[in-house]
Amino acid sequence: MFRKIVATAIIGCLIFILSACNGGKATNSSDTQNPKINVVVSFNAMREFVEAVGKDKVTVQTIIPDGTEPHDYDPRAKDLESLSSAKIFVYNGFGMESWVTKSLQAVHNKTLIIVDASNGCSAITNTDPQLIKDDGQDDPHIWVSLIGAEKEAANIRDALVKVDPSNKTYYETNYTNFYNQLEQLFTDYNSKFSALKNKSFVTGHAAFAYLCRDFGLKQNSVEDVFADGEPSAQKLTELVNYCKDNKIKTIFVEDLVSPKVSETLASEVGATTVKIYTIESKEDNKDYLQSMQYNLQVIYNSLK
């Protein structure tokens, strides 16, 4: 909660600074010599979807740098300046980017098309009252789902067509190709997971609820949906018992979450730690499809 109060104060200052600097004037990408559509996105997964659909007809700027935890990010003045010359701004939604509404007040760009990529998706809601109070009602990790990715990419396709209708067929073709690859990956692993009796796995960060919904799996995690810190002694004891009861042999860890507790848990229950991708940042030079294929395979291997 404290970090959100601080973020609100910072954003308020940025609004004042940018209003003074911009003088109320907007600059659009049509004013430059670059014929490509200037798109600004919140973080890596959104960039992946924009590039999959827009390909060589877009240039993409990412506000949250790779290697930075998106849940806690506070935008800087230069981050917001990029929105002043953008045609499209894409963010995930479901409360992932708590700074968006106030930040957009600082942008004097009347033609900016704003895309909440999660629009039309079905949210998984949090049930912990304290978590809801501190971080929000919805689990934001819809992009870590092949079905979610299909919908988010479709919303991006529609925005590109709106800005550049003369290339509608181009964007629709790219989207269809991306959609077909997502569907093929879903089909391949749906049959694999359906054949397994064991459906439970353990991660360092509860970022995989939508993936679990896709395939009828169940995650248990060291840290909560918003990676808000290490578990209590009671929670850790419960995790140890859970791992033993469910014969968990793999604890998945992510780059942006401290692995210490996960490693301790793995040692306690005789499991190994294996890397998994949240795709919040680009990792190991893998694109979205490669990262998701890897995720699904290592989860499948842990359940066999």
**Residue carrying the six token digits 């790219």:** 174
> Given this model, what pLDDT does residue 290 score?
98
CATH of the domain at 10: 3.40.50.1980
In this structure, is residue 245 part of a structural domain? Answer: yes
DSSP E strands: which ranges in the chain?
37-41, 58-62, 88-91, 113-116, 200-205, 218-223, 250-253, 272-275
Confidence of residue 285 (pLDDT cuts 50, 70, 90): very high
Percent of all residues in the chain with a pLDDT value above 90, rounded to a whole number: 68
Q: Which of 160, 184, 208 corresponds to the end of one domain?
A: 184
- Nearest by Cα to 89 from 22, 176, 24, 160: 160
Confidence of residue 14 (pLDDT cuts 50, 70, 90): very low
In this structure, is residue 191 part of a structural domain? Answer: no
In this structure, is residue 54 part of a structural domain? Answer: yes
CA-CA distance, 7 to 300, in Å (whole number)?
A: 39
Q: Which of 184, 217, 237 corresponds to the end of one domain?
A: 184
Is the model's pLDDT at 2 over the cut of 70? no
Q: Are 133 and 82 contained in the same domain?
A: yes
Q: Which one has a higher pLDDT value, 284 or 33?
A: 284
Q: Are 20 and 156 contained in the same domain?
A: yes
Q: Are 167 and 251 contained in the same domain?
A: no
Q: Are 169 and 267 contained in the same domain?
A: no
Q: Which domain holds residue 251?
A: 197-303
Chain-centroid distance, C-alpha 302: 24
Decide if 71 contacts 4 (C-beta within 8 A).
no
Q: Are 176 and 217 contained in the same domain?
A: no
CA-CA distance, 202 to 281, in Å (whole number)?
A: 21
Chain-centroid distance, C-alpha 149: 10
Q: Are 150 and 274 contained in the same domain?
A: no
* 250: β partners: 272
Q: Are 228 and 174 contained in the same domain?
A: no
In this structure, is residue 12 part of a structural domain? Answer: yes
Q: Are 105 and 227 contained in the same domain?
A: no
> Given this model, what pLDDT does residue 9 score?
46
In this structure, is residue 26 part of a structural domain? Answer: yes
**Which tens digit of pLDDT belongs to each residue from 176-217?**
999 999 999 999 999 999 999 999 999 988 899 999 999 999
Q: Are 255 and 144 contained in the same domain?
A: no
> Given this model, what pLDDT does residue 164 score?
98
Give the total number of structural domains in the chain: 2
In this structure, is residue 249 part of a structural domain? Answer: yes
**Which tens digit of pLDDT belongs to each residue from 60-75?**
999 999 998 888 788 8
Q: Are 243 and 159 contained in the same domain?
A: no
- Helix residue ranges per DSSP H, 136-230: 146-163, 168-194, 209-215
Is the model's pLDDT at 225 over the cut of 70? no
Is the model's pLDDT at 284 over the cut of 50? yes
**Which tens digit of pLDDT belongs to each residue from 124-182?**
998 777 667 766 789 999 999 999 999 999 999 999 999 999 999 999 999 999 999 99
> Given this model, what pLDDT does residue 232 score?
80
Q: Which of 184, 218, 238 corresponds to the end of one domain?
A: 184
Q: Are 33 and 93 contained in the same domain?
A: yes
In this structure, is residue 72 part of a structural domain? Answer: yes
| pTM metric for this prediction | 0.86
Confidence of residue 3 (pLDDT cuts 50, 70, 90): very low
In this structure, is residue 192 part of a structural domain? Answer: no
Q: Are 145 and 202 contained in the same domain?
A: no
> Given this model, what pLDDT does residue 132 score?
72
Tokens of 168: 């509608």
Give the mean pLDDT of the chain: 87
